[in-house]
Structure 1
Amino acid sequence: MTQVLFYGCLFITFSPILAFFFMVIAKNSQLVILTIGGSFFWLVSILISAIWWYIIPPMREQWWFIISFSVLFQEIFRYIFYRLYSYGFNDRPSLNQIKETRHQMALDSMRKRKQQNGGSSSNEIESINNEINNNNNNNNNDDDENKEITEEEKEKIKIEKQKQREIEISARLETLSARPNHTLSSAAIGVGSGVAYGFIMFGSILWESTGPGTLFSPACPTVNLFMLSSIITLFMTLLHVVYNVLAFQGYRSKKYHLVAFVIITHFVTTYLTLLNLPTKTTSCFGSVFTVGVITLFSVGFCIFSLLKSDSITKIH
């Protein structure tokens, strides 16, 4: 049963966020890099929190002190990452903008060709008449002229192929230099921090489930400790994605009420995990149920704010 418990808790915790990674993020190399960057910045924030916890020995047993500074450092590094992201990507055109400019350039070139063809119609008629008159005098030199025409056509075909290759290469370079969608970028960064959170905070607990026997939470003796931790970690990983999307949208559009919502919700959900401590006044049901409700509300609020600001369907 230990292997079943291990894989069951593993799939419960990481299936949604890894499915989103492989189905959406893994298809874009820039989003993968942002995901790695998000996990790195989260690890740095936790490292600084651990150093802060270590240098103040009297506060090591005070959970409110540890949690408050841990959340504070995470939000600070989230803002630092946003500044780096805005510095590197805000000035770049999006892929849709590049497609629009290409389409507009193609339309302009077609219009120019039509204008040139329309203006030179009389010249073409005169040239055709001259060719008809000259054909009667140049019947003996038809073979040589055909050879020259075919050689010229071959050269024109080669030139056109080279131009097409240059256009394709430039289009690929423009596509690679294009920035990804802002919403997907912020979600990718949130996925990185969420996966890092899951493996660091839950990985050590999950590994213990492979041993003989099982453990139960003192705050909720009828619930398996590993299953309880996996459900809470699932909610937290999803919240990391939501936090990052809302925070980046708030910073980008200067809607600071979204940033305030992220910070307050982050503090509340983290403090709610203290209900799992083995005391007489705590209850694991209150922790899991409350965090689950906050997660559902946060996801709905995130989708509503994106639709309201047209961030999902916005081209630029």
Structure 2
Amino acid sequence: MTQLLFYGCLFFAYSPTIVFFLMVIARNSQLVIMSIGGSFFWLLSMLLASIWWYIIPPMRTQFWFVIPFTIAFQEAFRYLFFRLYSWGFNDRPSLAQIQSKINQMKSMKADQLQQQQQQPGTDSVINTRLETLSARPNHTLSSAAIGTGSGITYAFVMYGTIMWESQGPGDLFSPACPDVSLFMLSAIYALCFSLLHILWNVTAFQGYRTKNRIDVGIVLVSHIAISYFTMLNLQGGSCAGAIVPAILITLFMFVYTFRTMLRGDSITKIA
């Protein structure tokens, strides 16, 4: 494969998610940690899916049978991460509560303020807590950071090996489309799935918080649909019939996630 096609596929597959990570996630240390956590949990789901694939011989050749179990492991670990995230954040006092407490202290009478300041460590504890929570992201950014970790890890794991093989002098074509480079098709899939992991995570976390089964169902159905559409790239299938639905599902999730954020007032909270 030529260097022009190599770098074109490389930037096409990874640029959007990496730019989003550098421009949004990397500016907050807590978001970076949650992004790493999302990557780790996705790898754990793939590890369990691989073990499940190995111990059941029929799954090694029947791809249509592998997909539901792989998605089930991913969604189970997504919900597990949500429970862990809720346990770590929901019981903590918010920044507004800490600031309200400080404003109340400032409005106290001089003698009462002086009496409270005599207690050792009171101000230092509150100030430390305020500094800790001042960079605390909201739920939407947190879920997007977790999805970014999963999406970038997916793109590197699933597409990195294909890109490595592209360093040779020849080219490789899809069985369903002998005239289209497999590296270019894989770059499109890597882009769609990496973006979808972010959108799925934002929508799913919103659904978990509000107990909205429709949001969770949309994530599950779209995940299953785009995964099965990829099987059209096998011999006898149609790569156009696989690529077009993948792009349409990605666009649909963009619109649906945006509407979900508007419904939950997440847009104004980010601003």
Normalised by the size of structure 1, how large is the TM-score?
0.77
Q: Which AA in structure 1 matches 2:180?
A: V
Distance 2:258 2:28 in 1: 22
The equivalent residue for 1:313 is 268
The equivalent residue for 1:29 is 29
Instruction: Check 1:272–1:81 CA distance in 2 against 1; reply closer, same or farther (3 A cut).
Output: same
Percentage identity across paired residues of the two chains? 57
Q: Which AA in structure 1 matches 2:154?
A: Y
Kept in 2: contact 1:25–1:188 (CA 8 A)? yes
Are 2:223 and 1:266 equivalent residues in the alignment?
Answer: yes
The equivalent residue for 1:210 is 167
The equivalent residue for 1:62 is 62
Which ranges in structure 1 are unaligned for 5 or more consecutive residues? 114-165
The alpha carbon displacement at 1:101 in A equals 4.6
1:176 is matched with which residue: 132, 137, 157?
Answer: 132
| Match runs of 1:80-91 below 5 Å | 80-91=80-91
**Superposition RMSD in Å:** 2.3
Give the number of the structure whose alpha-carbon radius of gyration is greater: 1
The equivalent residue for 1:130 is none
The alpha carbon displacement at 1:207 in A equals 0.8
Distance 2:183 2:95 in 1: 44
Distance 1:98 1:224 in 2: 57
For the residue of structure 2 that corresponds to 1:288, the secondary structure is helix
Distance 1:103 1:180 in 2: 22
The equivalent residue for 1:250 is 207
| Match runs of 1:1-316 below 5 Å | 2-99=2-99, 101-103=101-103, 105-106=105-106, 108-109=107-108, 112=109, 170-177=126-133, 179-279=136-236, 282-314=237-269
The alpha carbon displacement at 1:90 in A equals 1.1
Normalised by the size of structure 2, how large is the TM-score?
0.89
Q: Tell me whether 67-76 or 86-95 shows the greater mean CA deviation.
A: 86-95
Kept in 1: contact 2:99–2:130 (CA 8 A)? no
Distance 1:311 1:246 in 2: 11
For the residue of structure 2 that corresponds to 1:186, the secondary structure is helix
Distance 1:186 1:21 in 2: 13
Instruction: Check 1:76–1:214 CA distance in 2 against 1; reply closer, same or farther (3 A cut).
Output: same
Distance 1:28 1:71 in 2: 30
The one-character-per-residue Cα deviations of 1:59-103 (angstroms, maximum 9, x if unpaired) are: 211111111100010000111111110000112234455445545
Kept in 1: contact 2:98–2:126 (CA 8 A)? no
Kept in 2: contact 1:95–1:180 (CA 8 A)? no
For the residue of structure 2 that corresponds to 1:222, the secondary structure is coil
Which ranges in structure 2 are unaligned for 5 or more consecutive residues? 111-121
